[in-house]
Structure 1
């Protein structure tokens, strides 16, 4: 699909009938985000695609996208989350975006912090701009509170895009109503009482926050302590202090208390046997509320 700006009532965006969900203004986004000394070099908005992550990975591997490229879709039809989970949302009901980054100079061993960094950046931006207290479920789910219950409003996915490059995707439910949620445990910013659901300032806030945190991390050569990332992630992580079950590769699981985030971004779980086991991959279930 060729990237193109959203248009007015007579253009492509006019085929949607939900007037409560206006299209993004790609021209205004570029004007606000593209600076000579900025991280973002290109901002493309498309009406509809399967997955912004897949599109941007393909473009990067073909040499058609450079460091700092942002791809945003008004609708995704084959969006993917962690563990290859699929999800869909109505057109213009959320933020569906991916960014291409080339973290030159940072050891590859520290690239695993990038999805956690993105979680911190997105949660910070949403809390400030939408007025919604946003927490992080390890490793990269975005949680909001609806009716006193924590529910998932978004997620983050990182994929390699060839040597020296990664694509990070974020999907955030903004205006989904209860009857539109894919599962009962999902939520949206609107359901969490957001002070604004205007996606233009939300996109700008997310990308500016991501630029800020990414540059801090680069300046520290990816060191999570020196950049302040490890401390900030732990402070906003709703998983820590809870009893959790981690479903691990190989049909193995462990249950215990989530006690720390280690220097590699892994979740450290203290089991009943007195063992502290770091978990770097798997599905974590919160068993006990705070």
Structure 2
């Protein structure tokens, strides 16, 4: 018999209780809603990998419908952009993926989905946790800890089957000695008024449903749906000097002046040119918070 305080016991950390699947389904799965299914697994390698595998192999008999949500209490092979590893103690955060299939939206506009998810997550978490959130282009969620910007969440979108799997990882209750990197943070360290993961998850998914619905109704037009303006308003990258580390070991330094209609970051460089960046790592070189992010 496993002792009650064993690390594998779901209730071994009373400050981090397991998610209540029945309550989440009651609150999120309703007629006419975007969310069509919600599953919580105790442990997996990556929710994105699991959901994408189902979408890519419909003959398996278990393809996801649009609006499928998969949540893990712990991921042991979570991935961020550029195949970076995302790790956290069990039940210390939100680790989830959703399957979206905006077939009525031109595929060339699907690149807005990770930015849309960032806006939705930041909005939902600000309401549910009472913490100021910011966005770092293209897909990081930032909080302020002791006056310094810290990454508390990340987003990873991947084409799968006829749609897109969007993964979201958020550090909720991580303590300082549990952070995976010096630049990381958590909602707890940022002074959140609530660390209840069910409340936070409902807030994020309801916000995502609203933003996705408005963007899809506008045919994926980020300007007409209000998404482009909302992203710019919450983006901590804009109006700062940044270094864009681009594919092919290239880099560009400039001031981030805009996010254009395609979701690209526009840099004003020292030679007076404006360069759009569609993919790459962004380093904040200086700004209101100071330091490097």
- Contact residue 154 and residue 170 of structure 2 kept, 8 A: yes
Q: Which residue of 2 aligns with 1:79?
A: 78
Structure 2 gap ranges (5+): 289-293
Please give the secondary structure, in 2, of the residue aligned with 1:71: strand
Partner of 1:259: 257
> How does the TM-score come out when normalised to structure 2?
0.94
1:223-274 deviation digits (Å, cap 9, x = unpaired): 0011000000000000000000000011110001000000100000000000
Q: Is the 8 A contact 2:106 2:219 kept in 1?
A: yes
- The separation in 2 between residues aligned to 1:21 and 1:31, in whole angstroms, is 21
* Alignment counterpart, residue 46 of structure 2, candidates 40, 43, 51: 51
> 2:16 is matched with which residue: 11, 15, 21?
21
Separation of aligned partners in 1, 2:202 and 2:125: 11
TM-fit CA distance, 1:66: 1.2
How big is the alpha-carbon RMSD for the aligned residues of Structure 1 and Structure 2? 1.3
Tell me, yes or no, if structure 1 residue 220 matches structure 2 residue 215: no
Matched-pair contact (CA < 8 Å) for 2:102–2:216: yes
**TM-fit CA distance, 1:14:** 3.6
Equivalent pair of 2:10/2:17 in contact (CA under 8 Å)? no
Do the aligned residues in 2 keep the contact of 1:79 with 1:86 (CA within 8 Å)?
yes
1:61 aligns with 56
Instruction: Check the 8 A contact 1:50/1:77 in 2, yes or no.
Output: yes
Deviation at 1:26, TM superposition (A): 0.5
Once the two structures are TM-superposed, the CA of residue 62 in structure 1 deviates from its matched residue by 2.2
- Is residue 2:275 matched to residue 1:273? no
Q: Deviations for 1:17-50, whole angstroms, at most 9, x for unmatched residues?
A: 1110000000000000001110000000000000
Cα gap change, 1:212 to 1:157, in 2 (>3 Å):
same
Question: Which residue does the alignment assign to 1:32?
Answer: 27
Task: Supply the distance in 1 between the matched residues of 2:74 and 2:255 (Cα, whole angstroms).
Answer: 38
Q: Distance in 2 between the 1:283 and 1:44 partners?
A: 32
Q: Confirm or deny: 8 A CA contact 1:13 1:23 kept in the other structure.
A: no
User: Normalising by structure 1, what TM-score?
Assistant: 0.95
Count of aligned pairs: 280
Q: Distance in 2 between matches of 1:268 and 1:216?
A: 25
Q: Deviations over 1:61-97 (max 9, x none)?
A: 2222111100000000000001110121000000000
**Residue equivalent to 2:131:** 132
Counterpart secondary structure, 2:194: coil
CA drift at 1:16: 4.7
Summarize the alignment of residues 122-271 of structure 1 with structure 2, pairs less than 5 Å apart: 122-162=121-161, 164-271=162-269
